[in-house]
Amino acid sequence: MDGNNVNATGGCPVMHGGNTTVARPVNEWWPRSLNLDILHQHGARTNPMDPDYNHRDAVKALDFEALKADVHALMTDSQDWWPADWGHYGGLFIRLAWHSAGSYRLGDGRGGAGAGNIRFAPLNSWPDNASLDKARRLLWPIKKKYGNALSWADLIVLSGTIAYDSMGLETFGFGFGREDIWGPETDINWGDDSVLMAPTEERVTDVDDANSMYNPLAASHMGLIYVNPEGVNGTPDPMETAKYVRMTFSRMAMDDEETAALTVGGHTVGKCHGIAADIGDAPEGASVADAGFGWSNPSFNGKANTIHTSGLEGAWTTNPTQWDHSYLELLLGHEWAVTKSRAGAFQWEPVNLPDELKVPDASDPSIKHNPIMTDADMAMKIDPIYREICERFLKDPAYLAETFSRAWFKLTHRDMGPKVNYIGPDVPAEDLIWQDPVPAGNTDYDVAAVKAKIADSGLSAVEMINTAWDSARTFRGSDKRGGANGARLRLAPQKDWEGNEPARLGKVLDILTPIAQESGASLADVIVLAGTVGLEQSIKAAGHAIEVPFAKGRGDATAEQTDADSFTDLEPLADGFRNWQKEAYAVRPEELMLDRAQQLGLTGPEMVVLVGGMRVLGTNYGGSKHGVFTDREGTLSTDFFVNLTDMAYSWHPVEQDGLFELRDRKTGAVKWTATSADLVFGSNSILRAYAEVYAQDDNAEKFVRDFVAAWTKVMNADRYDLVA
């Protein structure tokens, strides 16, 4: 019975042909195979909602006030199966919201709270997220009650925000509108550490330089969103820890003041749990009998003080269920020394603290404990920059409250994109620079007249197409940033990015800007419309009469509305669609192309059709001819696919790294040159299957229609105003 799977724990062999676990992925034997599945995750076949379900419409029908009241009531509705510390769940729900949002990283915009991904692996089983499965189960009755109108993603973040509100903080606001996913995000590289808390030297090139850690990860250790709370390499040293805190939070898009405020405000409430007992397996590895919980606590006796979570033990403030200013009074006003928790973890405790400042036990208020600080807390005291900020907060509690509430709002909304995506009565009216605000664009202009002016401008089709593409390609579906709306292509830093060919870009903008001014259209619209004009010229040259859709209404952002520093992370270092990369990288060009396609929200066929079309249009960076498999460049034809799949040509690597020659098999003459980002569409079996569709004699018009649809999708990727 070859191929039978035998239960390792005993049981009879059974014919079992389904590949039903991830222990043996179907493609594990493929050498460096492209993971094209990242283009097709979260599709209709995994989504249980009806095909006509519209989440935004459902959210708008929520009874927001009733929901908030229910979440408020839950805060003090302690359950025997998982009791609340001091009778208040606020600290637990804040931790749930924080750890969900805190996975965001500015480098690629991935992570964050926007999709409810903490429900799934690996996040649900990160050691830093121990017991957060309980927090979500406590929220289940509310999710059950409000149903489809309330996403887990919204509820998780709302619970933390309401927690602060219930404990006395005036929060900055809240926006609904996050939509759940139904399985793990397979596109995200969370890091490849295999050993929890392995030596720091294994993940940085220089221990003294926190920024040498692998980018774009924000986590310094697998499963730990922040730094080791016991110190770098588990050794208390607040100055060293401060370096990693600064690096970690900067990768989360937070400056020093926001970092200090979040640390202070986050640890003003709640506690750590650290009894000396074993903790059960993580949710993904736990027994079926654990009901998906994981992290079982063998020593739990029904009281909050017998819960084990982090290993550290204690609260940071005297009144851990109240928003007050005692954190800084304790931290800066007392001497602290390294001790160990009941579970043996390094932590800091005050020396000779008066009894009236000690913390009541979470279950028995007659018992008092020292407050505690982690190494990251001590960094706020020892690091001179953080110290100065904290002293300012100490002198002005109102300033601390405002700074924290704004930082909390940013932390929990950073990946939601423009404010038009926010729903509900508590959305702040203020436009915040990190939301990348774009003013509404004019729609009262004659599109046909503008197209005529563009056509008569003297610009070539490829100049117009490339400028429109470069404007739109910055879009990242991960955090809904970038894109053509706003015309930030004309502003620093984008206008100077090497990948945007500044000289060509400057020429095109000098011609298009007066057209925009004369017509009343935004420059953002005119840039995209110019791409439309150039594309329609190329379609006509191919003998087709297919119109490219255009949606007007983009606005032009100002430099004052643009956080230039944060846009640095959106700079393309490679663009396989234009067959370019800034320099040689360890990652192959086709992998970088795949990553960009995923961020643009493209499917496999859409990526294929766009690359093939852009090659024959001549859109390569600097006018290079790599991959331009046609004798009629500038015509939107299927020639790329026809010649790529033609066995009349053989492929040969050349000495220049990454380049190939396509030679006539009979004569040996070089017909074309190419990069791996070209030839992968003929060598990868899946991509070749798509390429063959467009190489067929009967699909010339289908190719143009599909190209136009994919092009339009990219141009409108950031047009949330069209579906608000």
DSSP element (H, E) containing 439: none
Cβ pair 279, 308 in contact under 8 A: yes
- 99 classed as catalytic: yes
Q: Residue 82 pairs with which residues in a beta bridge?
A: 79
Q: Facing residues of 347 across strands?
A: 339
Ramachandran angles phi, psi of 697, nearest 5° = -65, -25
Report the alpha-carbon distance of residue 444 to residue 451 in Å, rounded: 15
CB atoms within 10 A of CB 701: 13
H-helix or E-strand spanning residue 575: strand 574-575
Q: Which of 55, 99, 267, 413 is catalytic?
A: 99
SS (H, E, C) 11-68: CCCECCCCCCCCCCCCCCCCCCCCCHHHHCCCCCCCCCCCCCCCHHHHHHCCCHHHHH
Q: For residue 724, which of 523, 427, 489, 516 has the smallest C-alpha distance? A: 427
Bridge partners of 580, per DSSP, are 575
Element holding 271 (H helix, E strand): strand 271-272
Contact between 640 and 619 under an 8 Å Cβ cutoff? The reply is no
Q: Which residue has the tokens 């059950």?
A: 144
Contacting residues for 394 by C-beta, under 8 A, at least 6 apart = 325, 328, 329, 332, 400
User: Taken in order 665, 622, 657, 189, is the CA torsion positive or negative?
Assistant: negative
Token pair of 341 as six digits: 């928790």
In the chain, % helix, strand, coil (3-state, to 5) comes to 45, 10, 45
Question: Residue 550 carries which side chain, given as an amino acid letter?
Answer: F
Residue 547: Cβ-neighbour burial (10 angstroms; 0-12, 13-18, 19+): exposed
Q: Whole-angstrom distance between the N-terminal and C-terminal Cα of the chain?
A: 58
Single-letter amino acid, residue 102: G
CA distances (Å), origin 445, targets 516, 526, 536, 548? 10, 11, 20, 18
Which residues are designated catalytic? 99
